[in-house]
Amino acid sequence: MNPTAGNAIQVLIVEDNPVDAELAQRALRRRLPCAIEWARDGLEAVARLESGTPLPCLVLLDLKMPRMDGLTLLRRLKTDPRTRALVAVVFTSSREPSDVTEAYGAGANSYLVKPVDGAHFDELVEAAGRYWLELNEPATPGSCS
């Protein structure tokens, strides 16, 4: 999927840490013409997804967040027919095997562990963005082009 200039790809970052959210936004924008929205927890993400605006092509979400955590949000996304096909990439600092298992069981498309080093953080976000937004064919052809 290769967006033309002026066609911004919709991305939703669900992250309670403003520094990580900003770093992820910068890394994605450096690589792709993205329209990025930031939700600070699962409840903000649900409100955005139910607002009637176009659905994002990629949801990058943390697991450990206040109010509604990432696993609860992920389960909700993957059980709702309207959002079931969204690409949901867990991007978290947790390496706990139970978190990985639960995330994939809830329907995560990918599970990435946040690097502590800033350069590796950027590289990982850019690689994930490139894979899911440029190389991967979406479940609904034309939905994210």
Residue 32 domain boundaries: 9-135
The answer on pLDDT for 137 being more than 90 is no
CA distance to 10, 51, 63, per residue, from 29 (Å): 11, 24, 23
6-45 residue pLDDT tens: 467 899 999 999 999 999 999 999 878 889 999 999 999 9
Average pLDDT over residues 113-123: 88
CATH code: domain of residue 101 = 3.40.50.2300
CA distance to 24, 51, 96, 105, 124, per residue, from 11 (Å): 11, 15, 26, 23, 16
| Residue 62: inside a domain | yes
The answer on pLDDT for 5 being more than 60 is no
Number of domains making up the chain: 1
The answer on pLDDT for 145 being more than 80 is no
Beta strands in 1-57 (DSSP E): 9-14, 34-39
Average pLDDT over residues 49-62: 92
CA atoms within 13 A on the CB side of 88: 26
